Homo-oligomer: A and B are copies of this chain.
Amino acid sequence: MSSSAATYARENHPRFLEELKTLLRIPSVSTLPENATDCRRAAELLVTELRRIGFDNVRLIETEGHPLVYADWLHATNKPTVLCYGHYDVQPADPLDEWNTPPFEPTERNGNIYARGAVDDKGQVWAQVKALESLLATKRALPLNVRVLFEGEEEVGGEGIAAFVASKSPLLQADFALVSDTELFAPGLPTLCVGLRGMIYTEIEVRGAKTDLHSGMYGGAAPNAFVSLAQILSRLKDEDGRILIPGFYDDIIPPSAAELAAWRSLPFDEEQYRIAEVGSKKLVGEPGYTVLERTWARPTLDVHGIPGGFIGAGAKTVIPAKAQAKVSMRLVPGMTPAKAFAQYKNFVQQIAPAGVDIEVRLIHSGAPCLIPVDNPYIQAATRALHEVWGRDTVFIRSGGSIPIVGDFAKHLNLPSVMMGFGLPDDNIHAPNEKFNLKNFELGIQSLIRFLEEVGS
Q: List 6 A-B contacts (CB under 8 A).
A: A31-B314, A155-B316, A217-B295, A227-B234, A227-B301, A306-B309
Contacts of A301 in B (CB 8 A): 219, 227
Which residues in A have some Cβ–Cβ distance to B below 8 Å? 31-33, 91-92, 94-95, 98, 155-157, 197, 199, 201, 208-224, 226-227, 229-231, 233-235, 237, 239, 241, 273, 277-286, 291, 294-295, 298-320, 323, 325-326, 328, 330, 353-357, 363-364, 398-401, 424, 427-432
Question: Closest residue of chain B to A202, judged by CB?
Answer: B315
Contacts of A277 in B (CB 8 A): 213, 218
Instruction: Name the 3 nearest CB pairs between A and B, nearest first.
Output: A210-B279, A216-B400, A305-B309
In the complex, are the beta carbons of A31 and B400 less than 8 A apart?
no
Copies of this chain assembled into the complex: 2
In the complex, are the beta carbons of B300 and A219 less than 8 A apart?
yes
Question: Closest residue of chain B to A222, judged by CB?
Answer: B278
Bound: A239/B232 CA distance, A: 11
Shortest A403–chain B CB gap in Å is 11
Contacts of A215 in B (CB 8 A): 300, 302, 304, 328, 330, 429
Question: Closest residue of chain B to A210, judged by CB?
Answer: B279
In the complex, are the beta carbons of A317 and B279 less than 8 A apart?
no
Shortest A298–chain B CB gap in Å is 6
Contacts of A157 in B (CB 8 A): 315
Contacts of A156 in B (CB 8 A): 314-315
Bound: A92/B277 CA distance, A: 40
In the complex, are the beta carbons of A305 and B308 less than 8 A apart?
yes
In the complex, are the beta carbons of B315 and A201 less than 8 A apart?
yes
Contacts of A282 in B (CB 8 A): 223, 354-355
Shortest A432–chain B CB gap in Å is 8
Bound: A100/B131 CA distance, A: 60
Q: Which of B217, B230, B279 contacts A398 (CB 8 A)?
A: B217
Q: Which of B32, B233, B319, B398 contacts A312 (CB 8 A)?
A: B32
In the complex, are the beta carbons of B427 and A211 less than 8 A apart?
yes
